[in-house]
Amino acid sequence: MGVLERISRLIRSNINDLLDRAEDPEKILQQLITDMQQDLREAKIQVASAIREQKKLETLYQENLAMADVWEKRAISAIKDQNDYLAKEALKRKRDCEQLANEYKTQLDDQTKSVQSLKTGLAELEAKLSDAKRRKDLLVARQKRAQAQKTISQTMNGISRSSAFSALERIERKVRDAEVEAQAFEELKKDSLEAKFADLENDDINLELAKLKDKISKQETN
């Protein structure tokens, strides 16, 4: 896998998806960071190698330009010495150096673009790694909180469907029924007591009525 492809894969990595699949999110996050650090080290090595190749091409390009200039000067010297044969040979060497310089220039331009692209990808990878380190604790806390909420919901759902919970509800209904029944008996007892007091009051009234009638009868006799 090339360095650009590796960097691209790491940049596109979705930490939240890893958390969803992980039995131990904290462990998998730490492993992710460790892997990214290792890949970052490898990427830096490859980028450094690409830069060395760029510098090598730059050197070869400049050397051939310089040699082309040298052979041109030699051709001029041969012409001054009226040696056309040497002048032609010098010009041939000059042309060869110029052709090589052009080829190296083409490779150098391509390598320069590649190095720039690698540097950009490397910077993005470093930013991604820094972000992963910052977000690690937050993501783990979120996952643990979600798991705790899920566990509580499952537990409550299980309790609502359990026979023990149903038994508690039945007992509660029986207690309420017993309380209502006791209250009813208390009301009946209260009504009976009031009736007795009412009977006593009626007896007193009857007695008082009899006394009043007797008093009236005596008055009429006199």
pLDDT along the chain (222 residues), means of 10: 53 53 69 85 90 96 96 94 94 96 96 92 87 79 77 69 64 79 68 61 68 74 68
- The pLDDT assigned to 2 comes to 55
pLDDT, position 159 = 58
**What is the rounded CA–CA span in Å between residue 114 and residue 156?**
59
Distance CA 190, CA 49 (A): 104
Among the listed residues 1, 36, 44, the one whose alpha carbon sits nearest the alpha carbon of residue 15: 36
Whether this model's pTM surpasses 0.85: no
> What's the confidence (pLDDT) of residue 1?
47
The whole-number pLDDT of residue 69 equals 96
- What pLDDT does 86 receive? 94
